Amino acid sequence: MSLAVDINKNGHPERSLQFYVEAIGLAAPGLPDWRSAEAVLRGEQAFVAAELPPYQPERLPANERRRATPVVRQAFRAAEDAIRQSACDAAELASVFASSDADMNVLHRICSALAEPSRLVSPTDFHNSVHNAAAGYWSIATHARRTSTSIGAHDTTVAAGLLEAAALLLDEAIVLLVMYDVPQPKPLLDQHPITSAVSVALIITRERIASSCASLRLTLEALNDIAPTTCGDAGLDVLRLSNPAARALPLLQTLAQQRNDRVLIEAAGGRRLRIDIETLA
Amino acid sequence: MNPLGISRFTVTSSLGRGLQPHVDGLRSERSGLRQRPFESSTLAGWIGQVEGLDQPLADAFKDWDCRNNRLADLGLQQDGFIDAIAHARRCYGADRIGVFIGTSTSGVQQTELAYGERDRALDRLPGWFNLRTTQSTFSVADFVRLRLQLNGVAVAISTACSSSAKVFASAHRAMRAGLCDVAVVGGVDSLCLTTLYGFNALQLVSPDICRPADARRQGLSLGEAAGFALLTLDDGSSEFLLEGYGESSDAHHMSTPDPEGRGAAAAMRDALQRGGVEAHAIDYINLHGTGTPANDLAEDKAVVALFGSGTPCSSTKGWSGHTLGAAGILEAVFCLLCLREGLLPRSLNTREKDAALCSNILLQSRTAELRRVLSNSFGFGGNNCSLLLGRRA
């Protein structure tokens, strides 16, 4: 992990955070896991947005597996994918869980119940309604006792997640970042259309290790009107805009293509997060 | 770690608006909890409600209007906080001031109201409902950012009842990482049917007033609060300091703490280590102390394991109720006021201490010179955070 201050073309200082990617997990329509997604993201195979079948988390104990909701399963799908490729022990990872809306299906059930005269809220729904439900299940499943932070930043959740996770590397050697959202039920879908179920996981490290595959450098740009990076493929770009977590797709494309490149994604207040990606041999 | 200065802070809860009623409430042992229903709730019990949230936000923020953002707005207007941020904006620039706000339910009451008016035939919510600016977890953080005219890094942290303690840790890291020069941290959570009926469904709400550590405690009383602080690099000018923070996960159960309190102990130990102090340097511990049988017992084990039975401690939830995502900032401010006033507050409403609890829970308030205190916040999902707060020697 290194911190740098450069002077940009307008003469202003620009601060950046640099760290390493050790493993990647992905679950999205047509992109069931990182290994099979790589060829699509490299443009070697056509992207077909096929819905993924339901997922059974591998690591959840039976009790928790029964209670885990679709959004928890979606988060686990990418997180477990990343862990499978990682040399790191899941129990030793600090984590950041980033989601715009977390569990809108649970919210829908609770608010529907509250609109009835009996107001019978399910206790399981209530404990699943917390924004950090997926993180809680993950720590139980993996016996991870280190720090875990759950955040939300609407459509800028990927930028906020990357910044939170990168800054956490100041305290922790390895961080698991999981970004995820799932479609809301009908009445809420009209409000913030999340039309696909997507999760992305990155295991990032402070120092370069044998299994590091890329170096990322994050810079929060001054307010400008440069458009975020698109996917260059119509189908993938529809996916990118269909879910806040899918805003990470241009970054994942660059990682899959093992290129050195620069990607811009939207951050809070109309700013851009610049990601400079360097592939490591 | 290098301490941060806490150059300004404010809080609003059922005790009143701004710092003074909180000092007065602590001194006079007056609770903000009342036995009354919340709006259309039919549940009995005690709540800590903030008065005066019936006025909509100013026109410029009408899209953001909901109980939670009204509470944020009211909270920001106390103790000269808005002016202090305006000054910071001139010193550092709007894009160099970060915003880190903790909340558990954000503006969920707006969604509850919208579902009450839902068109069932079309399965449609009323036109006035705006999910992004009210219900969304980020809504309150974005509102605070806009209200304070800031454009730096901004995030909502939502780890249930530890949310607005965690903001101090995230802000400390963001400042070290150079993402911002100074940080507005805070927490806002407001009363709503979701939490009232939800905690009721989990059988965690006390029919009686919340009595932390009491032998016959029956659970928590819910409250609401908004609190904010401005964190700056320590240039020697701030009387109050963030000297450490500790974070951990229980990895035990979604809504029940590890009965041995291992996660709680790990968070406190982490805070002490980061602050470079031993347990005996702590003059007071503000407990998470929800008043549920399970929480108070587990936390007691953690405290005794680290501090023995000597360090004075108490929960202030008998004053405010459990303000959930705002509990971290509210209780951090209680701690700062205790440091400032030299006050060790008792465990309010506790009649007879549970004999199973071995920590030094204060049954009488007293005055003492305080230098360093710890504030605990633990949340669903087993998410723990402990803050080490100090007064400059």
Over residues B99-119, the pLDDT tens digits come to 999 999 999 999 999 999 999
CA distances from B115 to A110, B119, B165 (A): 10, 8, 32
Whether B130 has its CB under 8 Å from any CB of chain A: the answer is yes
Q: Could you tell me the CATH number of the domain that includes residue A252?
A: 3.40.47.10
Residue B180 contacts A, CB cutoff 8 Å:
no
How far apart are alpha carbons B92 and B95 in whole angstroms?
A: 8
Which of B114, B136, B154 is opposite residue A269, by nearest beta carbon? B154
Contacting residues of A for B382, CB less than 8 Å apart: 136, 139-140
Size of interface A-B (CB pairs under 8 A): 229
On chain A, the residues whose CB falls within 8 A of the CB of B179 are 15, 17, 163, 167, 220
Domain hosting residue A157, numbered range = 2-279
Q: Confirm or reject contact between B154 and chain A (CB < 8 A).
A: yes
Number of domains in chain A: 1
Q: Looking at chain B, which residue has its C-alpha nearest residue A101? A: B136
Q: Are A145 and B174 an interchain contact pair (Cβ–Cβ within 8 Å)? A: no
Average pLDDT of every residue of chain A: 95
Residues 167-186 of A with CB under 8 A from B: 167-168, 170-171, 186
Q: Which residue ranges make up each domain of chain B? A: 4-391
What pLDDT is recorded for position A173? 97
Amino acid identity of residue A79, one-letter, is A
**Would you say B260 and B301 are in contact if contact means Cβ atoms under 8 Å apart?**
yes
Is B380 at the interface with chain A, CB within 8 A?
A: yes
Cα torsion B59, B148, A218, A84: sign: negative
Top residue of A118, A147, A272 to mutate, by most chain B CBs within 10 Å, is: A147
Residues of chain B in contact with residue A265, where contact means CB-CB under 8 angstroms, are none
What does the pLDDT average to over B122-130? 96
- Kindly identify which residue of chain A lies nearest to residue B196, measuring between CA atoms: A121
The kind and range of the H/E element at A229 are none
Annotated active-site residue B180? The verdict is no
Q: What's B313's DSSP letter? A: E
pLDDT digits (tens, 9 = 90+) for B9-29: 999 999 999 999 999 999 999
- The answer to whether residue A66 neighbours chain B at the CB level (below 8 Å) is no
* Statement: residue A216 has pLDDT above 80: yes
In this complex, is the C-beta atom of B159 within 8 Å of any C-beta atom belonging to chain A? Answer: yes
- How close B5 comes to chain A (CA, Å)? 20
Q: Write out pLDDT tens, residues B165-182.
A: 999 999 999 999 999 999
CB contacts under 8 A, B 23-82 vs A, are 42
Number of Cβ atoms within 10 Å of the Cβ of B129 = 22
Q: What percent of chain B has pLDDT over 90?
A: 99
Average pLDDT for chain B: 97
Enumerate residues 78 to 107 of chain A having a beta carbon within 8 A of any beta carbon in chain B: 100-102, 107
Least trusted range by pLDDT, from A7-16, B185-194, B317-326: A7-16
Confidence at residue A3, expressed as pLDDT on a 0 to 100 scale: 86
Candidate from A3, A126, A271 with C-beta closest to B198: A126
Q: Which of B334, B342, B293 is nearest to B314 (CA)?
A: B334
For B225-271, the pLDDT digits (tens) are 999 999 999 999 999 999 999 999 999 999 999 999 999 999 999 99
Q: Which of A114, A171, A186 sits opposite B123 (nearest CB)?
A: A186
Q: What percent of chain A has pLDDT over 90?
A: 89
Nearest to A126 among B129, B154, B202 (CB): B202
Residue type for position A186: K
Residues of chain A found within 8 Å of residue B193, distances taken between Cβ atoms: 114, 119
What residues are paired with B249 via a beta bridge? B383
Cβ A133–B174 below 8 Å, yes or no?
Answer: no
List CB contacts (< 8 A) between A107 and chain B: 108, 111, 135
Contacts for A117 with CB less than 8 Å, ≥ 6 apart? none
8 Å CB contact between B170 and B100:
yes
Is residue A41 less than 8 Å (CB to CB) from chain B? no
Question: Are B382 and A188 a contacting pair at CB < 8 A?
Answer: no
Give the pLDDT band of residue A13 (cuts 50, 70, 90).
confident
Q: Taken in order A252, A257, A258, A262, is the CA torsion positive or negative?
A: negative
Q: B151, A271: Cβ pair inside 8 Å?
A: yes
pLDDT attached to residue A195: 96
pTM: 0.98
Residue of B nearest to A118 (CA): B42
B288 is catalytic: yes
Contact by Cβ (8 Å): B227, B333: yes
Fold of B4-391: Peroxisomal Thiolase; Chain A, domain 1 (3.40.47)
Neighbours of B30 (CB within 10 A): 13
Q: Given CB atoms, is B112 within the 8 Å cutoff of chain A?
A: yes
Catalytic residue among B288, B313, B335, B338: B288
What pLDDT, on the 0 to 100 scale, is given for residue A11? 78
**Percent of chain A whose predicted confidence (pLDDT) is above 70:** 100
Classify residue B208 by burial, with Cβ atoms within 10 Å: 0-12, 13-18, 19+. middle
- Is B322 one of the annotated active-site residues of the chain? yes
Contact B155 A148 (CB under 8 A): no
Query: How far from chain centre, in Å, is Cα A213?
Result: 18
